[in-house]
């Protein structure tokens, strides 16, 4: 009996100081810096991150995935989890995402969204509007720019906005991506107004990204610590640095 208790205590101690969070793919470019800065004031807490499209992460949470915090790319999924009493805090906006038009080759970006209609552009990488909030915003931007009907046969759909960037760099001629990805070290060689341009935010509904604490982590104060850090002045400055709109 003593041995069994010892094993259980060891298992608990191994898990202590570790939190598991579900994070929308577009935030992957910010997470490394968030974790480094968070660790300075919380050195004993290990942050484990699962990245994916917001829709798929929300489905995992609904099915019992052991996440204690969810950072979505929209407010829809956090609201749904809160109404279902799976989230224990009301959804708050932690950042507002933005879109960019990107090509690995130099393009005449003065054309704006009309550039997508050029004959030498055969494939356009976009996120799937059914699973990724950035995909929904992309669809809105193309329709409001009146290019969607012309270019819809060129569209190559990615599951998440991170996968969209991968397609844009490797397989497509151009892509509509999260502006935040352009601030990563891997993208430093691509220049604004040469390889990429911001898409007018008036062309799509603001991408308000929501954060909630989940029932799975309600007994672990470290989830609350990370939640507070994301919404803190320091956390917000990091998001702004990566091209997000913050409060």
Give the count of alpha carbons within 13 A of 89, CB side only. 19
Q: What percent of the chain has pLDDT over 90?
A: 84
Residues 16 and 82 in one domain: yes
- Scanning the chain, the segments in alpha helix (DSSP H) are 2-15, 28-41, 54-62, 76-83, 133-144, 148-151, 161-170, 221-231, 233-241
Q: Is 70 a domain residue?
A: yes
Residue 7 has pLDDT above 80, yes or no: no
The mean pLDDT value of the chain amounts to 92
Residues 60 and 182 in one domain: no
Q: Is 247 a domain residue?
A: no
Q: Is 246 a domain residue?
A: no
Structural domain span for residue 58: 2-96+206-241
Residues 153 and 65 in one domain: no
pLDDT digit string, tens, across residues 16-39: 589 999 999 899 989 999 999 999
Least confidently predicted of 111-115, 129-133, 210-214: 129-133
Residues 24 and 9 in one domain: yes
pLDDT digit string, tens, across residues 58-115: 999 999 999 999 999 999 999 999 999 999 999 999 999 999 999 999 999 999 999 9
What are φ and ψ of residue 68, in 5° steps? -105, -10
Domain count, the chain: 2
Residues 92 and 115 in one domain: no
The enclosing domain of 222 has a CATH number of 3.40.190.10
**pTM to 2 decimals?**
0.82
pLDDT at 2: 45
Residues 199 and 232 in one domain: no
Q: Is 158 a domain residue?
A: yes
Residues 157 and 136 in one domain: yes
**Element containing residue 146 per DSSP (H, E):** none
Residues 105 and 35 in one domain: no
Residues 113 and 189 in one domain: yes
Residues 91 and 212 in one domain: yes
Residues 74 and 114 in one domain: no
Phi-psi region of 64 (alpha: psi -120 to 50; beta: other; left: phi over 0): left
Residues 121 and 152 in one domain: yes
């Amino acid at each position: 009996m003593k041995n069994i208790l010892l094993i259980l205590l060891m298992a608990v101690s191994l898990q202590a100081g570790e939190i598991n969070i579900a994070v929308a793919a577009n935030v992957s470019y910010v997470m490394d810096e968030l974790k480094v800065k968070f660790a300075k004031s919380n050195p004993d807490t290990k942050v484990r991150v699962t990245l994916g499209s917001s829709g798929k992460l929300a489905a995992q949470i609904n099915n019992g995935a052991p996440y204690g915090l969810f950072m979505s790319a929209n407010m829809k999924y956090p609201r749904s989890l809160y109404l279902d009493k799976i989230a224990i805090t009301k959804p708050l906006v932690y950042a507002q995402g933005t879109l960019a038009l990107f090509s690995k080759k130099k393009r005449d970006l003065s054309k704006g969204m009309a550039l997508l209609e050029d004959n030498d552009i055969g494939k356009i990488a976009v996120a799937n509007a059914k699973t990724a909030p950035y995909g929904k915003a992309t669809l809105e931007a193309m329709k409001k720019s009146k290019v969607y009907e012309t270019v819809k046969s060129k569209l190559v759909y990615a599951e998440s906005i991170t996968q969209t960037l991968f397609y844009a760099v490797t397989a497509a001629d151009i892509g509509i991506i999260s502006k935040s990805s352009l601030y990563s070290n891997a993208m430093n060689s691509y220049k604004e107004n040469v390889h990429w341009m911001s898409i007018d935010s008036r062309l799509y509904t603001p991408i308000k990204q929501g954060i909630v604490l989940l029932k799975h982590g309600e007994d672990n104060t470290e989830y609350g610590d990370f939640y507070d850090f994301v919404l803190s002045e320091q956390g917000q400055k990091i998001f702004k640095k990566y091209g997000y709109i913050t409060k």
